Structure 1
Amino acid sequence: MAWIWKRKSLIATSLIVAVSLFVVAVNLSEKPYFLLQPVFGQSSFKQPYNKPHPGYLSIPKEEPLNLHCDLCSVVSSSGQMLGQGLGAQIDRSPCVWRMNNAPTRGFERDVGQKTTLRVVSHTSVPLILQKPQYFFGQSNSTVYVVWGPLRNMRKDGKGIVYNMLKQATENYPHAQIYVTTDERMNYCDMVFKKETGKDRIQSGSYLSTGWFTLILAMDMCKEIHVYGMINDTYCKSDVNRKVPYHYYEAGSRDECAEYKMHESAPYGGHRFITEKSVFAKWAKTHSIKFFNPPWQLS
């Protein structure tokens, strides 16, 4: 009889272990994929290829973003793009990504005219909405991904920017507008801390649109070509030409002057130079290449 009870006890224990493992598996499967990934190493930001991304939800249906490209050309808004004649080369890319309200009209020779996806800061949404037909017209197939803090993006009627975007989708039903979830925003903050050792809020830093763009691109693109983005040492040289901060704002503030001002700002500054050093690190483990000017990765 003793062996029978011992066998029953073993079976019961096995069942408990199996149920416990099942519960753990279910709990893990319910968490966003990107929250389970390591921050460092080759798999740092990788989504399963050809899978929708739960960190970006459409307005108003809240469907996850599902966009994947073999090659993405990310076009900087920098004045470095001027006079380079790279428009045709950029337009040959399967996917072309742009940022904020950077226009193509009038600059086609240098920046191209194709736009597959545009990453937009919450602060640039009012600029986009000044030209709604240009950005959201029916023939425009561009996907828009808008990032911003919860206070502006909340969906309970109190999110000012979210309300603007929702109205835009009502006025332009064909517009493809996605917003970054609060969980994804927190994740991008976490990556900044892991890579720099500095807490974004405590250090008075604001992440740039470029930061959100590169993180998204590493999930959506097998290969990334970045045009017009300077590296973290570019502004240390006196021989580099002065260019406007934005290619579409001729005569505006100098790019390096803007970078240095933000880098040293005690509060509210984009840490452009710090971010570029992180991008160089990512390029060593991801398929990222920088053009105009080219980066020498040590």
Structure 2
Amino acid sequence: MKYQEKHCWLCLLSLSLLLLFWLGHLIRDLLSPAGQSNGLRGYMRITPGKMDQVLHMHCSQCALVSSSGQMLGAGLGEEIDKVGCVIRMNNAPTQGYEKDVGNRTSIRVVSHTSVPLLVKNESYYFNQSAGTIYVFWGPERNMRQDGHGHTFNTLLKIAKKYANVKIYTVTREKIQYCDGVFQNETGKNRMKTGAFLSTGFFTMILAIDMCDSIHVYGMIDYNYCSRANHSVVPYHYYERNRLNECRMYHVHEHTQRGGHRFITEKAIYAKWATRHKMEFKHPSWSL
């Protein structure tokens, strides 16, 4: 009888230790910063033959550099390059603009519509900038993986050609999550209002996922264009002859179908800045 009791106690002790070990791992995963344990779910790597690698990225400080003409003459390049992780968008170049926007690029978030622009200059983006991580987003019809997703097929060819370049796609579930965030913040269904989320929106979501603190450069606030003394700058710092920024924002905000709600999105970012460690520079925001 004593032997049986001793054996039962040993079994219970073993089970208890196993349970504590499992709980320890669970608590560690829950408390560890984004990207250090299970990675950033919602971002899958495009590699020939498989799609099961999530993005593992965590930064204590991030510089999110806008593509806005506000960056012209900013002279912030040296400051930006000193930040741990530098995030850029679409095809925004650094060559020729280093003094204002810096030279380093840790992550580049790219819209499906900008993929042809990167392919057009693929040597610059995927060869010279081989250390950059690329995150592409797009609608399901373009990103589907059954052979009929035009954009996904292009990215797969790039991944095969430049095997060392890390190329990720935003999953359908993550895009649906972002749609839900937009609706929760505005009370409006994105699709019913005829709006498309901007690359800036997906970039801000990613930055919140992976960065402890975010320094946003060159992004105007939602009231900027309504001020009488606002500066007139190009929509993009690298496209001088396009519509000016505020005019572009107003056109998109009020178009019935297919527009980005840039001004509404900026109002959402202002809310997020009260809940996350986020600072806006050049111009600075009064939160």
User: In which range does the TM-score fall when normalised by the shorter chain?
Assistant: 0.7 to 0.9
Which stretches in structure 1 are left out of the alignment for 5+ residues? 1-28, 34-45
Name the structure 2 match of 1:194.
184
Amino acid in structure 2 at the alignment position of 1:159: G
Amino acid in structure 1 at the alignment position of 2:105: T
Aligned residue runs from structure 1 range 237-252, under 5 A:
237-252=227-242
Picking from 106, 109, 113, the partner of 2:99 is 109
- Equivalent residues, number: 255
Secondary structure of the residue aligned to 1:73 is strand
Amino acid in structure 2 at the alignment position of 1:55: G
Name the structure 2 match of 1:165.
155
Secondary structure of the residue aligned to 1:252 is strand
Picking from 196, 221, 226, the partner of 1:231 is 221
Name the structure 1 match of 2:36.
50
Name the structure 2 match of 1:259.
249
Contact between 2:34 and 2:210, CA under 8 Å: does it hold in 1?
no
Give me the whole-angstrom Cα distance separating, in 2, the residues matched to 1:48 and 1:110: 30
Amino acid in structure 2 at the alignment position of 1:50: Q
Give me the whole-angstrom Cα distance separating, in 2, the residues matched to 1:91 and 1:140: 17
Picking from 120, 135, 147, the partner of 1:145 is 135
Give me the whole-angstrom Cα distance separating, in 2, the residues matched to 1:139 and 1:271: 31
Amino acid in structure 1 at the alignment position of 2:208: M
Picking from 186, 192, 209, the partner of 1:219 is 209
Change (3 A) 1:47 1:186: farther
Contact between 1:262 and 1:272, CA under 8 Å: does it hold in 2?
yes
Query: Deviations for 1:236-289, whole angstroms, at most 9, x for unmatched residues?
Result: 012111000000001321000000000000111100000000000000010010
Name the structure 2 match of 1:86.
76
Give me the whole-angstrom Cα distance separating, in 1, the residues matched to 2:239 and 2:185: 32
Change (3 A) 1:107 1:48: closer
Name the structure 2 match of 1:39.
none
1:120 and 2:104 matched: no
Picking from 273, 278, 282, the partner of 1:283 is 273
Give me the whole-angstrom Cα distance separating, in 1, the residues matched to 2:108 and 2:276: 21
Secondary structure of the residue aligned to 2:75 is coil
Give me the whole-angstrom Cα distance separating, in 1, the residues matched to 2:116 and 2:34: 34
Query: What TM-score comes out, normalization by structure 1 length?
Result: 0.83
Change (3 A) 1:249 1:191: same
Which stretches in structure 2 are left out of the alignment for 5+ residues? 1-25
Contact between 2:34 and 2:57, CA under 8 Å: does it hold in 1?
no
Contact between 1:138 and 1:172, CA under 8 Å: does it hold in 2?
no
Name the structure 2 match of 1:59.
46
Deviation at 1:47, TM superposition (A): 6.9
Give me the whole-angstrom Cα distance separating, in 2, the residues matched to 1:47 and 1:270: 31
1:133 and 2:123 matched: yes
Give me the whole-angstrom Cα distance separating, in 1, the residues matched to 2:33 and 2:238: 34
Give me the whole-angstrom Cα distance separating, in 2, the residues matched to 1:230 and 1:75: 12
Give me the whole-angstrom Cα distance separating, in 1, the residues matched to 2:263 and 2:150: 31
Paired-residue identity, %: 52
Query: Deviations for 1:168-210, whole angstroms, at most 9, x for unmatched residues?
Result: 0111111110001100010000000000000000000000000
Give me the whole-angstrom Cα distance separating, in 1, the residues matched to 2:265 and 2:59: 24
Secondary structure of the residue aligned to 1:137 is helix
Q: State the superposition RMSD in angstroms.
A: 1.7
Amino acid in structure 1 at the alignment position of 2:135: V
